């Protein structure tokens, strides 16, 4: 098992150095996501993204310049037994010691409107609360490049507003906690390639409420594929548009703090 764990770890900094490791470091450095003395709760959802994040953060802790502590937390919102078994199996393979706590989020959101938004909001609140109990000052989520671009399009198309998924965010209700997204520049296709290369199988969205539905994010994935087919680098330009906003060409804007 140790040999397998090391092989998986090495693949991040060797085989996928350019695609994963360099983009991970780019996000961490560009947005100053980690400081000396941090204690960071790495939030494990059970999917490929959060498990990759855990391994990248482990590598950074061992060989990076910043000195920080970590813990790995898994919120059980009502997972089915087969999903939970898969998560625990992957944690064992990857050598991740999980701190598990329960919630009843799946039961709470059932039958509600905008369940994906509601689920994400309640999950985040639960993670903030648990991280605070563990003495952490930051939580790290596994959102990646594609999540960011999808969020921008969803905000425009469904909500009629221009906003993005921030790489670093201060909590309003759980001060002084911060949320960070170190995989900000890592593409989903490269995460999938890493998982397949190492014969790892992760759960997708385990929500029992939406498992038979096609979510808005899947619609955005298809839209971005279409845009990239017509315009090379369309997804990159969509992300970069959030960094190059010319206020003189905007009718109005909201300055929320």
Please state, in angstroms and rounded to a whole number, the distance separating the CA atoms of residues 77 and 100: 10
Q: How many domains does the chain have?
A: 1
Torsion angle of alpha carbons 71, 206, 52, 143, nearest 10°?
-90
Position 204 in a domain: yes
User: 87 in a domain, yes or no?
Assistant: yes
Judge whether 254 lies within some domain. no
Token representation of residue 110: 């059932």
Expressed in percent and rounded to 5, the helix, strand and coil fractions of the chain are 50, 10, 40
CB within 8 Å of 126: residues ≥ 6 apart: 75, 77, 101, 103, 105
In a domain, 256, yes or no: no
DSSP-derived letter for residue 202 is: -
pLDDT in tens, 141-200: 999 999 999 999 999 998 899 999 999 999 888 888 999 999 999 999 999 999 999 999
- CATH code where residue 194 lies: 3.40.50.620
The arithmetic mean of pLDDT across residues 241-246, rounded, is 92
Chain segment 19-29, per-residue pLDDT in tens: 999 999 999 99
State residue 115's pLDDT score: 59
Q: Residue 176, preceding bond cis, omega within 30 degrees?
A: yes
The band of 212, judged by pLDDT with boundaries at 50, 70 and 90, is very low
Domain presence at residue 67: yes
Range of the domain at 144: 2-249
Specify the pTM.
Answer: 0.90
The pLDDT of residue 123: 76
In a domain, 257, yes or no: no
Whether 120 maps to a domain, the answer reads yes
Residue-level pLDDT at 124: 78
Percent of all residues in the chain with a pLDDT value above 90, rounded to a whole number: 67
pLDDT tens-digit series, residues 35-93: 999 999 999 989 999 999 999 999 999 999 999 999 999 998 878 888 899 999 999 99
Q: Could you count the other beta carbons within 10 Å of the beta carbon of residue 61?
A: 15
For residue 255, being part of any structural domain is answered with no
What integer pLDDT is reported at residue 107 of this predicted model? 55
């Amino acid at each position: 098992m140790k040999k397998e764990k090391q092989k998986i770890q090495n693949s991040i900094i060797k085989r996928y150095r350019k695609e994963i490791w360099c983009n991970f470091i780019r996000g961490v450095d560009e947005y100053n996501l980690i400081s000396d003395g941090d204690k960071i709760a790495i939030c494990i959802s059970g999917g490929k993204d959060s498990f990759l994040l855990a391994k990248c953060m482990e590598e950074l802790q061992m060989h990076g310049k910043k000195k920080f502590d970590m813990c790995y937390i898994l919120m059980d919102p009502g997972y089915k037994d087969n999903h939970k078994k898969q998560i625990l199996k992957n944690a064992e393979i990857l050598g991740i010691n999980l701190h598990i706590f329960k919630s009843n989020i799946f039961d709470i959101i059932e039958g509600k409107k905008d369940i994906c938004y509601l689920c994400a909001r309640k999950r985040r609140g639960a993670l903030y609360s648990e991280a605070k109990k563990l003495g952490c000052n930051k939580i790290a989520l596994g959102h990646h490049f594609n999540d960011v671009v999808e969020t921008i399009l969803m905000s425009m198309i469904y909500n009629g507003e221009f906003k993005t998924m921030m790489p670093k965010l201060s909590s309003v209700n759980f001060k002084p906690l911060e949320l960070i997204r170190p995989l900000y520049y890592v593409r989903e296709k490269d995460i999938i390639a890493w998982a397949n290369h190492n014969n790892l199988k992760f759960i997708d969205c385990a929500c029992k409420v939406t498992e038979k539905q096609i979510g808005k994010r899947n619609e955005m994935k298809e839209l971005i594929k279409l845009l990239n087919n017509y315009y090379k680098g369309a997804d990159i330009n969509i992300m970069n548009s959030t960094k190059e906003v010319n206020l003189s060409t905007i009718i109005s804007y909201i300055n929320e703090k």
